[in-house]
Structure 1
Amino acid sequence: MAAAPAVRFLALCVSLLLSVGGNASEPPDPENAPALSGAELNWTMSCRGCHGTNAEGTEGGAPNMAGQVSRFLKVEGGRQYLVRVPGVAFASLSDAEVAELMNWMLWKFDKENIPDSFSPYDEKEVGRLREKPLLTSVAEVRRELILKIDDTPGPDHIGKVLTVTGAIEPDRLGETLMHEHLFIDFWLPADEPARWNQLFGRTPPTSPEQLKAWRQPLTMHNRTGMAARLWANRDAFTLDSLQDALDEVSDFRELGGGAIVDVTSIGLNRQPEKLKEVSERTGVRIVMGTGYYRTAWHPVTLMDMSVRDLALRMYEDITVGVNGTTVKAGIIGEIPIEKITSAEPVTGESKVLRAAAMASSWTGAAISIHSDFYDMSKLTLALDLLERDGADLSRVILGHISNAAVADLAFLEGLLQRGVFLQFDVFGNPWQLSMNDLRGAEAILSLVEKGYSKQILVSHDLCTKFQLTRFGGFGLKYVHTVLLPYFRDQGMTEAQIDDIMTGNPARVLPLSRPWKSPH
C-alpha cells in the first residue's frame, strides 16, 4: 500500500491545531518567534505522535515531512495542492489561521527547499484554494507532482549504485551479500488465521501452550525448540536492534565484506535511517530494496490499487526516498512469485510483479525475485511475464535457488541462458539441513565449471533472530567462513570467486538508464 502523502498528513495535523495569532503575510521564523509557541505546543500535542518529534514519520504510517514538503512549491500545481488536500480544505480553522500554520510548518520542517521566489500564503489565497478541494484524486495528484519534481534525466546516476548514503561507483562495493534483512518485522498476528493460511496453509498458535511460546522472548535457552518449530515464536521474526545490526555488519566487514543488499519490503518495517547509520558507522555499503512481499503481508487495499499505483510507489522510493526520507532504494525486491498467474483473475502477486517490471523500466534498477522454496516451476512463468512487460532479464535476479531447483541443473542452465542471475541465498540457515547447503554449493560448482561464474550470486537471507550470532547462528559470516573455503578446497579459482562476490554485484546493481517520467 502506498504511504499516505506527506502533505496530506501535514494537512491532517493542520486541521487539529488550535488557532494561533499573527500575521500570515510574513513567514514566521520558528526559532525566533515566541508568538508561535502555541503552534509548536499544538504540534507536540496533536501531530508528534504520528510524525515523530522532528516530523520524521514512521514506516507504514505518517511519512516524513522534514526536508520534503517545501519541494512541492517548486513545481506547477504543488503550491495549490498543499492547501486543496481535504485535511486543509475542510479544517475547522479560519483561512488566516491555515495560512499562518502552513507558512510556519514550511519554515519549520523544510526551510532549505523553499524557493527564493516563494511568497507566503495569505488569507485570500487560502480561502480561494479551499473552495476547490481535492476529493477523489489526492494520491494520484501527489504522485504526478513528485514525478515533476524528480523528472530529470539523472545522468549522475547512470552506471552507479544507489546506496543508503548516496550513489557510488560499482567498483566501490567490494565483496557483496546480495540478499539480507538487517531490520525486518514479519510475524503474523495470532488472531488472523486467514493470513496464516496464505502461508502454505499454516495455522496460528491457539492452545495455551502454543500461545505462551508465541509470546515469550527468544533466548538461548528456548532457541533450539523454537527453531525446530519455525513459526512458533513471534519475537524470532523481529529484527529491530541497531546494536545487533552493527555487530553483524562489523563482523562481515572484518572478514573482508564490502556491501550488503537489504531487500526488506514495504510494510515489513523498513528502517532507512537505521540502515544509513549502520552504513556510516561500519563503512559497509548498504543497498535498500523496495517492493511488496508475499500475499499474507499485502495491505488490504492492494487489490484495489492499479499496477501503475504500485509501480509509482517503487519509483518514488528510488527517485525521491523511502518513507519520506531522502534515503533512496537501489533495487526492486524482493518480489514474490508463489501466487503469480498469467490468467484471470489476476492475483496480488501478479500485479506486484508487473509493477516491478514497470518501475524497473522507469529507473533502470535491478529486480530481485523471491522464488517459491518448494516449487521452482514459477520461475519460467515469472521470466515470461517480466519479459512480456518489458523488463530487461539481464537485470533480474532469481533468488532462493538453494532448494528444489538444485536437483535439476539442466533447468538452471535454461534459466541462465535467458540472461538472468541465479542467487543461492539461504546458506547457514538453522532450519536448513546441512545437506541442503552442500547441494547448493555443489550446484554452484557445477554451474561455474560450465562457464556461468558471471551469473551467480550468494547470500544468507538473514531475517530472524535464530540466525544472529548472539543466538548461536552464523550471522553474516557463513559465506566467508564456510562456503568460500569449501569452494577453494574444491578447486574454484580466485577469479571465479571474485566474479561471484564482487564482479556480479557490480554488474547487476548499477542503474542501467536515466530515470524517466512514467507519464
Structure 2
Amino acid sequence: MEKIQTVLGDIKPQDLGITLTHEHFSLNFDKFFCAPPESLAKYFNDGVNEKLHLKNAGFIRQYPYGSKYNINYEDEDTHKAVMNDVKIFKEFGGSSIVENTTCGINQNLKLMYEISKETGVNVIAGTGYYLGMTQKSDVLDISVEKMVDSYTQEIVEGIDVKISPSETVKVKCGMIGEIGSAYPISEFEKRAIIAAGETQSALKCGVTFHPGRDSPNSPFEVMRIYLEAGGNASKCIMSHLDRTILDDDKLLEFSDLGGYCQYDFFGLECSHFQMNHKIDMPSDAQRIGKLNLLKEHGKLNRILMSHDIHTKHRLVEFGGHGFSHIINNIVPKMKTRGFTQDEIDTILIKNPADWLKF
C-alpha cells in the first residue's frame, strides 16, 4: 500500500489534506546575516539585537537578514511563535506541513514531533544536506555512498529522538531535502544531489532541491545531475523558482523536464532581495500569474505552493502573514484570476500527496 511518512507515523495519501510543501519550524541562519545600510543602522539598534516591534517592523521587512534577532529562528521565542502559527494554520483548514530543514542548519526533530502531537497537523521531515557553506569541515568530505546510507537509514529506520528524560521515540523522515546548492555547484553539493538521485531511485520517495540564487541555469544543472544519477523527475521539486527563473519561456522550458515547479515565497511582498540585489522579488500577484502560465500550458499537476518561512518577522506572533497566508489570502485571489476550486485542490492537496507517497 502507498503511504506517506510523518514524524508521528504513516498516513494514507488521501488523509494528507491541504499541504504546505516548504516550511521551517527551527533552523540556524547565522551565516546568512547581511548588514543593513549604514544609514539605517540605528533602527536595528546598532545593527543587530533589537527585538521586533512597530518602530522597526518596516525596516526589518525591507532588510530581514539585517537583524540578528530576526534570523535567530531556533530560540524559545521562535518555537512558541511557530507552535501558535501551526495552530492557526489548522484552524483555517490546514492539514499538513513539510519541514525542509536538513544537515547544516540544525534540524530539530523533537520540535517537529511536539508540534504535530499538540496541533494535530501532519509534519513530514526531510533528510539530507543543505548548502556546502553551512557544513562543518568534517562533513564536506562525506562520500556519495555514505550520503546514500544516511538518507536511506533516516527514511527506512528512522532517528532516535529524546522527547523527555524518560522517553525516546523513533522518528522517520518522509522525503529527501531540501538538498541545497549554490551556483556554480560545489563538489560536496554535487555528491549530495547524486546521492538524492540514487536513493530516490531505490526508495521511490520524494525529493526537494534548493537551487543556487545566482543563475536561472542552476535548476537545470541540479536536475541534470539528479536525473543522471537515476532520480525520477516526477518525484522531484525545484524550490524557490520565485527568485530563480524569472523569464516565462525559460520557466516553461524547465517545466518540460517533468519536475514540480514550486513557488514558495508567498507572503514576501518586498521587491528587494537581500541575498541577491540583482533580482526583483515578485509580488504574490505576480506569483499567481506564473502559476496561471503553467496551468495554461498543461502543467497544473506540476505546481506546488508554500511560504518558506524561516525568519521571525513572517510569523503571526511577530506581525507576519504566517502559515495560513495561502489559505486566507492567496486562494481567494486565485479564484478571482480564474482558478477553480478543483484546480486549487490539485495544487494544494493532490500534488503534494502524489509527491510524498511511496
> What does residue 429 of structure 1 align with?
268
Q: CA deviation at 1:221?
A: 3.5
Q: How high is the sequence identity, in percent, across the aligned residues?
A: 27
> What does residue 111 of structure 2 align with?
274
Q: CA deviation at 1:213?
A: 2.5
1:211–1:311: structure 2 CA closer, same or farther, 3 Å change rule? Answer: farther
Structure 2 contact 64–311 (Cα < 8 Å) conserved:
no
> What does residue 172 of structure 2 align with?
328
Q: CA deviation at 1:450?
A: 2.2
Are residues 1:283 and 2:120 paired?
Answer: yes
Q: CA deviation at 1:175?
A: 0.7
Letter in structure 1 aligned against 2:133: A
- In the aligned structure 1, how far is the partner of 2:64 from the partner of 2:196? 30
- In the aligned structure 1, how far is the partner of 2:155 from the partner of 2:318? 34
Q: CA deviation at 1:338?
A: 2.2
Structure 2 contact 238–259 (Cα < 8 Å) conserved:
yes
Q: Alignment partner for residue 213 of structure 1, among 47, 66, 78?
A: 47
Q: Deviations over 1:6-33 (max 9, x none)?
A: xxxxxxxxxxxxxxxxxxxxxxxxxxxx
**Following superposition of structure 1 onto structure 2, how do residues 48-447 of structure 1 map, counting pairs within 5 Å?**
159-188=2-31, 212-240=46-74, 241-322=78-159, 326-341=170-185, 347-408=187-248, 410-429=249-268, 431-432=270-271, 435-447=282-294
Q: CA deviation at 1:181?
A: 0.4
- In the aligned structure 2, how far is the partner of 1:264 from the partner of 1:326? 18
Question: Is the deviation greater in 373-382 or in 394-403?
Answer: 373-382
Q: Deviations over 1:323-345 (max 9, x none)?
A: 6551111111111232354xxxx
Q: CA deviation at 1:211?
A: 8.4
Q: CA deviation at 1:439?
A: 1.6
- In the aligned structure 2, how far is the partner of 1:220 from the partner of 1:364? 47
Q: CA deviation at 1:486?
A: 1.1
Letter in structure 2 aligned against 1:181: H
Q: Alignment partner for residue 460 of structure 1, among 304, 307, 310?
A: 307
Letter in structure 2 aligned against 1:354: I
State the secondary structure of the residue aligned to 1:257.
Answer: coil
1:361–1:205: structure 2 CA closer, same or farther, 3 Å change rule? Answer: farther
Structure 2 contact 98–123 (Cα < 8 Å) conserved:
yes
- In the aligned structure 1, how far is the partner of 2:36 from the partner of 2:325? 31
User: Larger radius of gyration, structure 1 or 2?
Assistant: 1
State the secondary structure of the residue aligned to 2:66.
Answer: coil
- In the aligned structure 2, how far is the partner of 1:496 from the partner of 1:204? 41
Query: RCO greater where, 1 or 2, for CA within 8 Å and sep 6 or more?
Result: 2
Structure 1 contact 317–323 (Cα < 8 Å) conserved:
no
1:232–1:203: structure 2 CA closer, same or farther, 3 Å change rule? Answer: closer
- In the aligned structure 2, how far is the partner of 1:416 from the partner of 1:435? 19
- In the aligned structure 1, how far is the partner of 2:265 from the partner of 2:253? 22
State the secondary structure of the residue aligned to 1:302.
Answer: coil
- In the aligned structure 2, how far is the partner of 1:435 from the partner of 1:508? 26
- In the aligned structure 2, how far is the partner of 1:203 from the partner of 1:491? 41
Structure 1 contact 308–355 (Cα < 8 Å) conserved:
yes
Question: Is the deviation greater in 394-403 or in 410-419?
Answer: 410-419
How many aligned residue pairs are there? 338
Q: CA deviation at 1:278?
A: 1.0
Question: Is the deviation greater in 232-241 or in 391-400?
Answer: 232-241
Q: CA deviation at 1:310?
A: 2.2
Q: CA deviation at 1:382?
A: 1.3
- In the aligned structure 1, how far is the partner of 2:55 from the partner of 2:24? 24
**Following superposition of structure 1 onto structure 2, how do residues 16-31 of structure 1 map, counting pairs within 5 Å?**
none
- In the aligned structure 2, how far is the partner of 1:182 from the partner of 1:485? 26
Q: CA deviation at 1:353?
A: 1.2
State the secondary structure of the residue aligned to 1:405.
Answer: coil
Segments of 5+ residues of structure 1 without an aligned counterpart are 1-157, 189-195, 512-519
Q: CA deviation at 1:402?
A: 1.6
State the secondary structure of the residue aligned to 1:372.
Answer: coil
Letter in structure 1 aligned against 2:200: S
Letter in structure 1 aligned against 2:90: R
- In the aligned structure 2, how far is the partner of 1:292 from the partner of 1:281? 28
Letter in structure 1 aligned against 2:236: V
Q: CA deviation at 1:204?
A: 10
